Amino acid sequence: MRVAFQGEPGAYSHEAALAHSPQEPEIVPCRTFRDVFRAVAGEGADVGIVPIENSLTGSIHEVYDLLLEFPLEIVGEVFQPIAHKLLGLPGARLEGIRDVYSHPQALWQCESFLETLGAERHAFYDTAGAARWVAEQGDPVRAAIAGPLAAELYGLEVLREDVSDCERNTTRFLALTLPGRVPPEAPGGQRWRTSLVVELRHEPGALYRALGIFAERGINLTKLESRPLRTERWRYRFYLDFEGHRGEAHVQDALARLREQAVFLRVLGAYVKGS
Amino acid sequence: MRVAFQGEPGAYSHEAALAHSPQEPEIVPCRTFRDVFRAVAGEGADVGIVPIENSLTGSIHEVYDLLLEFPLEIVGEVFQPIAHKLLGLPGARLEGIRDVYSHPQALWQCESFLETLGAERHAFYDTAGAARWVAEQGDPVRAAIAGPLAAELYGLEVLREDVSDCERNTTRFLALTLPGRVPPEAPGGQRWRTSLVVELRHEPGALYRALGIFAERGINLTKLESRPLRTERWRYRFYLDFEGHRGEAHVQDALARLREQAVFLRVLGAYVKGS
């Protein structure tokens, strides 16, 4: 199994890839999200792992746009805790750390800890790359902020376990493949989640009526988000997740009714809910 | 007028601050979003400018969380185009650029251009800080990716106008003050937007019924977003924006009805829509 993700080996995306494919997959690190989609669509990888939303920074519209651009489908999801750790060389002491390297977002999220530590902050392209660089430099006053997998891959020690100011920093990742590549499991009601993107006709109360289709059939929504299409005012796309699978009659029925009210509708996939 | 924003002078937040307060405000640059809220709540600034959503990266949950934590209200909004430019020293030539400095997200967004240019990329804490650093170094082979205000403030030249791969990269900023500090204008229907955060009772169809309150009164929603509260499963908060102002009877009525169905509701402010 070849699994593509954006980032360096040891990145949080790599951790999510292992959570999704525990049997030691062959990894395909990519520079950009688009490269992940290209790899999976072009058969350079069997599965792609991309972040779709984070508990602090929200939904990643760019990934939704790529989901609409490429003919891939969602076949799984992983909720990956973002657990920033301070990583140093083996034998380095916390009190001796003078310089800390990481992605600016991670440095911001660890602001309080870094102020207490009194170390200088240095921006890096990504967390795992910072860990590798610290390992290569071999200087015990340098440390990186990254995840546990980066520590393992680059032979660093965890100098402090949890250095983030933010509680509940979790990223939801999606697993993507070409349609039909992974055999569908039998649908089993609430274990499944279906994701779709819909643009409704521009009429008063259109969203209210669309949600009525789900409410009447007892289908639980687990995500609903409007995304303005800035090219044309008053046009919105909705991201919608609900519990259920297209194999179920009432879900099929709801999707057929929704399609009647939609200018555009694409089901992105149905998959067993992650935890 | 003292205006606080997160980032260095010349940052996109600074551009948004000038768009909101064109009469040469005294600027209060802050390290973090929390520092902006602290400055405004503690009277270190009259207005705070914070990003709430971006057309590529989505809503910024962290800012929503701070809106609930601090007693500030939204009094305005600015849609700020994120127009990345390549900035170099006066007299520098595009062909001579060897090293480009910026925030990793800006570097990613300019990936295609940078590949064509063949320059080496260097991560920096923020775009405006990279521009200042390039100006200080005085080396004509170095350039920064940042906005037009950074070029102006640090005396750099625009070597290439639009270097981003992304179309329509726009950030929506909010202007915040302590309640009652800015005199409310008279409500005038569709010119106004109201923002609120609501948690509905956990009952089937709760969202459908809540939207009915707005649909029945002809109130247009301009944003609706579910945000899962990961501390407790099955609990969601909704971000909701609609056209109208609390001074209007039908809006007051809708808010009263919504409050009956809510576990928690907070109106974040009513303000003239930006463009």
Residues A66 and A34 in one domain: yes
Residue B139 within a domain: yes
Q: Are residues A72 and A141 both part of a single domain?
A: no
**What pLDDT was estimated at residue A180?**
79
Out of A35-39, A233-237, B123-127, B269-273, which region has the weakest mean confidence (pLDDT)?
Answer: A233-237
- Is any Cβ of chain A less than 8 angstroms from the Cβ of B53? yes
Provide the CATH number for the domain around residue A139: 3.40.190.10
How high does pLDDT run on average in chain B?
A: 91
Is residue B189 scored above 60 in pLDDT? no
**Greater pLDDT, A59 or A93:** A93
Same domain membership, residue A109 and residue A73: no
Residue B128 lies in a domain: yes
Query: Which tokens is A257 given?
Result: 């009714």
Percent of chain A clearing pLDDT 90 (strictly above): 71
- The answer on A173 and A49 residing in a single domain is yes
Residue A174: the pLDDT is 97
pLDDT at A231 exceeding the cut of 60: no
User: pLDDT tens for residues B71-114?
Assistant: 999 999 999 999 999 999 999 999 999 999 999 889 988 988 99
User: Could you tell me if B173 and B43 lie in one domain?
Assistant: yes
Share of chain B above pLDDT 70, in %: 95
Give the residue from A52, A226, A237, A275 with the most B CB atoms within 10 Å of its CB, the best one to mutate. A226
**A146-182 pLDDT, tens digit each:** 999 999 999 999 999 999 987 778 899 999 999 977 6
Higher per-residue confidence, A170 vs B230: A170
Indicate if B76 and B61 belong to the same structural domain. Answer: yes
B38 part of a folded domain = yes
User: Where residue A186 falls among pLDDT bands split at 50, 70, 90?
Assistant: low
Strands (DSSP E) found in chain B: 2-6, 26-30, 47-54, 58-59, 73-81, 85-88, 99-102, 120-123, 142-146, 157-160, 170-177, 192-200, 221-228, 236-243, 262-272
Q: Whole-angstrom Cα distance, residue B131 to residue B219? A: 45
Closest CB to A123 among B60, B124, B221? B124
Which of A12-16, A110-114, A174-178, B1-5 shows the lowest per-residue confidence on average (mean pLDDT)? Answer: A110-114
Residues of chain A contacting B108 with CB distance shorter than 8 Å: 32
Asked whether residue B182 is assigned to any structural domain, the reply reads: no
In a domain, B183, yes or no: no
Q: Which of A150, A177, A204 is the last residue of a domain?
A: A177
Computed over every residue of chain A, the mean pLDDT equals 91
On whether residue A208 sits in a domain, the answer given is yes
At A271 the pLDDT is 93
Supply the pLDDT for residue A219: 92
Indicate if A193 and A246 belong to the same structural domain: yes
Please state which of the ranges B131-140, B173-182, B257-266 shows the lowest mean pLDDT.
B173-182
Percent of chain A residues past pLDDT 70, beyond the cut: 95
**Which of residues A144, A177, A210 is at a domain's end?**
A177
Contact of B18 with B25, CB cutoff 8 Å: yes
Reading phi first (left if > 0) and then psi (alpha if -120 to 50, else beta), residue A21 is in beta
pLDDT in tens, A84-131: 999 999 999 999 999 999 998 899 889 889 989 999 999 998 899 999
Q: Is the pLDDT of residue B186 over 80?
A: no
Contact assessment for residue A104 and residue A126, using Cβ atoms and an 8 Å cutoff: no
Same domain, A64 and A29: yes
Q: Does A208 touch chain B (CB under 8 A)?
A: yes
B245: in domain: yes
Q: Mind giving me the DSSP string for chain A?
A: -EEEEESSTTSHHHHHHHHH--S-PEEEEESSHHHHHHHHHTTS-SEEEEEEEETTTEE-HHHHHHHHHS--EEEEEEEEE---EEEE-TT--GGG--EEEE-HHHHHHTHHHHHHHTPEEEE-S-HHHHHHHHHHH--TTEEEEE-HHHHHHHT-EEEES---S-SS-EEEEEEEE-TTSSPPPPP-GGGEEEEEEEEE-S-TTHHHHHHHHHHHTTPPEEEEEEEE-TTSTT-EEEEEEEE--TTSHHHHHHHHHHHHTEEEEEEEEEEE---
Q: Are B45 and B4 in contact (CB under 8 A)?
A: yes
Residues A227 and A252 placed together within one structural domain of the fold? yes
Q: Which domain holds residue B100?
A: 85-160
Best residue in B230, B237, B250 for a mutation probing chain A (most A CBs within 10 Å): B230
Residue B187 has pLDDT above 70, yes or no: no
Say if residue A102 is in the same domain as residue A156.
yes
Measured between beta carbons, which residues in chain A are less than 8 angstroms from residue B58?
Answer: 53, 57-61, 227
User: Which ipTM score applies to this complex?
Assistant: 0.81
Among A177, A203, A227, residue at a domain's last position: A177
CATH of the domain at A255: 3.30.70.260
Mean pLDDT value of segment B216-227: 90
Specify the long-range contacts of residues B178-185, CB closer than 8 Å, at least 24 apart: B178/B40, B178/B41, B178/B43, B178/B71, B178/B72, B178/B73, B179/B71, B179/B72, B179/B73, B181/B46, B182/B75, B184/B247, B184/B270, B185/B272
The yes-or-no verdict on residue A204 having pLDDT over 80 is: no
- The per-residue pLDDT for B31 is 86
B35 and B98 in a single domain? The answer is no
Put simply, whether A55 touches B (Cβ < 8 Å) is: yes
- Give A140 to chain B, closest Cα distance, Å: 22
Task: Tell me which of A139-148, A184-193, B9-18 is least confident.
Answer: A184-193
- Shared domain for B110 and B209, answered yes or no, is no
Indicate if B173 belongs to the active site. Answer: yes
Q: Is residue B228 part of a domain?
A: yes
Q: Note the pLDDT of residue B242.
A: 93
pLDDT in tens, B11-70: 999 999 999 988 889 999 998 899 999 999 998 999 999 999 988 878 888 899 999 999
- Considering its fold, how many domains does chain A have in total? 3
